[in-house]
Amino acid sequence: MRRLIRKIDAVATNDGDGVKIHRVAGRQLNSVLDPFLMVDEINSDDAADYIGGFPEHPHRGFETITYMKAGRMRHRDHMGNEGVIETGDVQWMTAGKGVLHSEMPEQTNGLLHGFQIWLNLPANEKMKPAAYRDIQSKNITELNLDDGGLVRVVAGKLSVNGIELVGSLPPLSTEPVLLDIVLSPSESVDLVFNKQNTALVHVYSGGLNQAGDELKARQMGVFSKGECLTLQGGSEGANVLVFSGKPLKEPIAQYGPFVMNSTEEIEQAMQDYRQNELV
């Protein structure tokens, strides 16, 4: 069984043009989250908290995963790609060698709730061409649990209560598993995936009861290696994201939106950006 070995509190901060978010990230957590780099949550029904959005900015060296729970976000990039990420949809963007893009709320009022997750790329893939995988909500694999809960498989292959499920993404070198799970009060679910890979659980509402320990809203739990990850909803039930991936165990050099393996590569990325050669 995988055991809860660490709890990390999300930190309130701002990003983009003043967007209020809660973030789990930081250099001190790189080895703990590996291969993930960051988890951001936007959750507000006050337009002033999000309306500035994320105007055009660069990325290089990793992947960004945008998952909308409520509201709509418009995406544009330097290659002419444009679209709206609707409620329940996922956009999986490989920045690779470089991308210039913006993500702006497609609304001026109402609830905007979503996540952006940064997933690292191995050194030999950091300069691959930029690419997108857009997953509509209707195409996300779902399993209704016996006691009223729900499991959504955004990415990965795993067993849920003995039932084999597969997400719609093709296999990736980081072997990502990304799940969105709703648990009723005291409801349990057993998840089985690669026992050697990272297992992270981020509670975004309610709470989990893990063998007498509690994971509260806006806390991430780090779990040990093991065959099975069992999660149990607390007295109010729980809404959680589950992350797993193959640790890269490579050096990480990060400067803002660039994630490479060395300072020299970061300096090259900055030079390329200044000279309009990033992409």
SS in 3 state form for 75-138? EEECCCCEEEECCCCEEEEECCCCEEEEEEECCCCCCEEEEEEEEECCHHHCCCCCEEEEECHH
Count CA atoms closer than 13 A to 145's CA, side-chain side.
25
pLDDT at 265 over 90: yes
Beta-bridge partner residues of 101: 57, 77
- DSSP tag of 243: E
pLDDT in tens, 145-164: 999 999 999 999 999 999 99
Instruction: Give 64-105 pLDDT, tens digit per residue.
Output: 999 999 999 999 998 888 999 999 999 999 999 999 999 999
CB–CB of 192/159 below 8 Å?
yes
pLDDT at 180 over 90: yes
pLDDT at 152: 98
Give the model's pLDDT for residue 79. Answer: 85
- For residues 205 and 255, is the Cβ–Cβ distance under 8 A? no
Environment class of residue 127 by beta-carbon count within 10 Å: exposed (0-12), middle (13-18) or buried (19+)?
A: middle
